[in-house]
Chains A and B, each alone.
Chain A
Amino acid sequence: MAPRNTEADTPRSEVLRLAPEAALTLESGATIAPLQIAYQTYGRLDAARANAVLICHALTGDQHVANIHPVTGKPGWWTSMVGPGRPIDTDRFFVICANVIGGCMGSSGPASTDPATGEPYGTAFPVVTISDMVRAQARLVDHLGIETLLAVVGGSMGGMQVLAWASLFPERVFAAMPIASAAKHTAQNIAFHEVGRQAVMADPDWRRGRYMLEGTRPVKGLSVARMAAHITYLSEPALQRKFGRKLQDRDAPTFSFDADFQVESYLRHQGITFVERFDANSYLYLTRAMDYFDLAADNGGSLAAAFRGTGTRFCLISFTSDWLFPTADSRQIVHALNAAGASVSFVEIESDKGHDAFLLEEPNLFATASGFLDAAARARGVAEAGR
């Protein structure tokens, strides 16, 4: 039998295990009990409990933002943004990041053990939404004794959570920074996700989601899903610059279906490394959560209504070459926030790196993020770093 995913039940991370009575009721009406949330924190909470910054991770991210990842042994996924002296300065802020519910790194998800059966939930795990993720995080923030977060920050699916936080708990969010995100998932994005899910479910080793019990793993399906998705995170110019039509370790085409081109080899590598750390069922659940996200629909069809009367200050950031969450998506949010009379800033950053730009070394991203967070911290009376 394949080994159980031990990170799902006993993560190498901080863990909040709530009592079965403190069940989380989901948007679908289903409940998760007991609720488990795995998280990491960096820095110290100040005496006024005013310097907490919550980071919301993207689809394939996790709570290991700025520490060595326990499974891959690689640095955290946002060390360029989070750390001492970084824009989200851990010498100044108390930084929290929780694995989303539906994930596979220690928060309740399909790889977790269902206490009712003693077996992994698999597809018996209830479908979760972005709002459900946020309500679970709110439990953690309660547990940490924080009433109002200085800032909630995230990119892509993380940005969706930021928007949901600001809409559901406006009084608990002093500042919100959604990056490369959108208030709804478009038809095109749902379509890409469906291709990924079908790849997973077409793998005979998926076993209707019961692969953990049957000792198999749908690695081929999940890696194809990752390969297809990875293309959408890049841009044509970035692929051209990085790979062009260059061949991989050979001088001429082999007239076979080997990975002749460097770009093929790169994508295969992305697929293979992904399946080592990610649960296939989680991929189904989290892509679904993004598909269901439509903040305007949740507010009677009006995006502005989602933010009416908000006192939160917003800063939105998009990237010129991001075609998955294009600038127009961010502008739509900006217009709604303006209509709601909210305090909003918006910058479109020049980059040819596509959607992934938010995870990369982008000096203009860092300058805007640190400027915005510093201004928010000053407005809230948070002390400077390194006193």
Chain B
Amino acid sequence: MTGPEHGILPLVRADHRLVAGMVAAGARVLDVGCGDGALLDFLARAKAVDARGIELSREGVAACVARGLAVIQGDADADLFDYPDDCFDYVILSQTLQATRRPKVVLEQMLRIGRNAIVSFPNFGHWRIRGHLLLHGRMPVTENLPDTWYDTPNIHFCTIRDFVALAGALDARIMRAEALDAAGRPVGVRMPWWFWNLMAEQGIFWLARGK
């Protein structure tokens, strides 16, 4: 989704821009599942954050290291336990929640090592997915979720309402929430959850520790 450069500013993914809008300048940030470091790099440039990352793939880590980012090879399920309490201002999980083995534990750990957690994830409650399952009776395969059920890394899909319920179970405060459609455009503002749950292709949530 990262496009070619337009003039001086590179085209920044809509969800990355929204995440950046939730992060305070100069903060200490850990991006869990940071891929090739595009988001961290953007945050380092746009918000002057102290950027750290964890990434499963060696290629991803190598790309990050070459950008000058501090990224360790590891995974969300195993390696968050090794960080001390409160060592980050924000812990970000961008499009990775659905690929973790224990999403609740991962979120708990994020809110332990960071005061804030920012999570973006595909919304499995979107009408197109519901329609696909309803009409075909088979696990949905869409443009944004192109993998078949048997070889997808995404083992824990959830809907926006599921995520809101999980945040409640974790005693986390929802500081801000955003919903994006397939084209990355915001889906209304101040809409009820049920509307977002139907219309949004992805949700971005900023959580803070404690009610």
B32 to chain A, nearest CB (A): 13
A339-B84 in contact (CB<8A): yes
Known contacts A347-B61, A347-B73, A364-B62, A375 near B82 by CB under 8 Å: no
A233 to chain B, nearest CB (A): 23
A375-B66 in contact (CB<8A): yes
**Mostly helix, strand, loop or mixed at chain A's interface?**
helix
Chain A contacts with B in 327-353, Cβ cutoff 8 A: 334-335, 338-339, 341, 343-350
Quick one: which of B68, B70, B82 contacts A335, CB cutoff 8 A?
B82
**Mostly helix, strand, loop or mixed at chain B's interface?**
mixed
Number of A residues contacting the other chain (C-beta, 8 Å)?
26
Chain B contacts with A in 33-63, Cβ cutoff 8 A: 52, 58, 61-63
B135 to chain A, nearest CB (A): 43
Q: Kindly state whether residue A315 has any CB partner on chain B within 8 Å.
A: yes
Q: Kindly state whether residue B71 has any CB partner on chain A within 8 Å.
A: yes
Q: Kindly state whether residue A372 has any CB partner on chain B within 8 Å.
A: yes
B7 to chain A, nearest CB (A): 22
Interface residues on B, range: 20 to 34
Q: Kindly state whether residue B65 has any CB partner on chain A within 8 Å.
A: yes
A315-B58 in contact (CB<8A): no
Q: Kindly state whether residue A236 has any CB partner on chain B within 8 Å.
A: no
Residues of B within 8 A of A372 (CB): 65-66
Known contacts A338-B82, A375-B66, A375-B68, A348 near B87 by CB under 8 Å: no
Residues of B within 8 A of A376 (CB): 68
Residue of A nearest to B81 (CB): A335
Complex: how many Å from CA A215 to CA B52? 59
Quick one: which of B58, B71, B84 contacts A348, CB cutoff 8 A?
B58
A341-B73 in contact (CB<8A): no
Complex: how many Å from CA A348 to CA B75? 13
Quick one: which of A344, A347, A350, A367 contacts B70, CB cutoff 8 A?
A344
Q: Kindly state whether residue B64 has any CB partner on chain A within 8 Å.
A: yes
Give chain A's interface residues, CB within 8 Å of chain B. 313, 315, 334-335, 338-339, 341, 343-350, 364, 367-368, 370-372, 374-376, 378-379
Give chain B's interface residues, CB within 8 Å of chain A. 52, 58, 61-74, 82-84, 87
Known: A339-B84, A345-B61. 5 other contacts (CB 8 A): A335-B82, A345-B64, A345-B72, A364-B62, A376-B68
